[in-house]
Amino acid sequence: MTLHTLKAMFDPATRVDHAIQAAHAFQPALNAMVSFIDPQDQLEALTHIDPSAPFYGIPVALKDLVNMKDTRTTGSSKILDNYISPYDATITRKLREAGAIIIGKASCDTFGMGGTNKTAATGPVHNPYDLSRMSGGSSGGSAALVAAGVVPMAIGTDTGDSIRKPAAFTGIVGLKPTYGRISRYGVIPYASSLDHVGCFTRNVTDAAATLKVLAGRDDKDMTSSTLPVEDYPALLKGDLKGKRIGILTNVIDSISNPTVRTQFEALVEQLSAQGALVTRVTLNDALMKALLPTYYIIANAEATANHANLDSLRFGVQVPGADNEETMRLSRTAGFGPLLRKRFVIGSYALFVENQERLFRKAQRVRRLVVEDLKAALSQLDVIIAPASGGVAPLLEGGPKTDELSGEYLIAENYMVMGNFSGYPSITIPMGFENGLPLGINLTAKAFDDANLLDIAYGIETLTGLKNLVAKVNA
């Protein structure tokens, strides 16, 4: 069911009421919401909006990093548990102007730092397909709400793969557009050179419609692009004939799961049968294995700088001390979880003057080499594709121990960070299932080739028929 068909079926108040009821009903099982927003003022404001607006009366959710005036925006942290937004993020304003009704803030890893959604102050988010498994992170709450059918679209952010990996684990579409395509003004940052705003939907058409609404220059975000916004939904044709598709062999060769490999290769054969020009592409393997440590250094260094203002002296939850220094120390100790403290330590260490050349600047140079390698590969292609993960969503507790030095972990589970290093547009869509659990495929294109990326994804979605999937939640 697309946004268009949903608008035709119910009046706005009924749509919103159904979404809020479902969100409350599933909350004990999914733990996907941090806070709910009374929709009454927004529904009344629809009288000033054209009913043909793309999101007219459509319920949506924001990741709990996105400011909305007079609502809680905690970043799923303890330290901002009492923070009330004094203004709207640009994307919040655009959604409201398009008629969207924002029903609440979705859980995420604290400040977007994590890939499990287990670090949220409100506890882990559960996968709608199997409540013993994670939904992925950091945008796991948004993904779970869309996958469970609560809302047709939810906002996420993506700094490493924080939209695209949860989309794979929950059987939905996760779009990270080109860096600068969507304004980040009013979105709590993680790492400014890597952060992207994107969305979750249950089909590619809705992802295209969402991008059209959110994209565009914003003078409040100087990194936003001045390039014109295309009519992404109108450009969806789905014809794969002649499309140049590269298979990223580094990822395929790193995956041990035979189901993932078999389903992916079967899809590749279908692409060829549709007339797509399929080739195998191999990137520098040493650089691929360096993606994760490079990411850790750059992202955590930038996060340390971005969150230096979280001292609880001006805003946030305060633990009183004898003086300002003790108050700040006590408040940060109570307000930051162990993973956050670890990341800030790594970031601070990389930014020490004596370490900047040895760590931070070296990581920046490796990032540039990665981007140049990816750019060269894409110069002859429309997209590069690979499985979005080596398997289904991991168990929240008690799963097999991960070898974090293996090629499977370093490459197959972390290669999508290339889209953040480069800023290139990237999308994950459903590929199939293993024992009833979703598997995803990821596509990456050249900078500002978002329309072509969406069109190819639409073609693959048409080929597989895997769209508008809704998980049956055992609430």
Rounded to whole angstroms, the Cα distance separating 391 from 48 reads 47
Read off φ and ψ for residue 30, nearest 5 degrees.
-90, -30
Q: Which of 7, 63, 105, 243 is catalytic?
A: 63
Among 424, 385, 430, smallest CA distance to 279 is for 385
Does 272 qualify as catalytic in the annotation? no
String of DSSP letters for 291-347: HHHHHHHHHHHHHHHHTTT-SSSSSS-----SSHHHHHHHHHHHHS-HHHHHHHHHH
β-pairing, 101-106 vs 33-36, is antiparallel
Strand ranges for 407-459 from DSSP E: 426-434, 437-445
Question: 290 with 366: CB under 8 angstroms?
Answer: yes
Is 138 among the catalytic positions? yes
Of 107, 139, 162, 331, the catalytic one is: 162
Point out the catalytic residue in the list 76, 77, 135, 138: 138
User: What are the counts of helices (DSSP H) followed by strands (DSSP E) for the chain?
Assistant: 18, 13
Angle subtended at Cα 31 by Cα 425 and Cα 169, rounded to the nearest 5 degrees: 40
467 catalytic? Reply is no
Alpha-carbon distances, residue 137 vs 120, 293, 393 (angstroms): 10, 18, 11
- Which residues carry out catalysis? 63, 138, 162
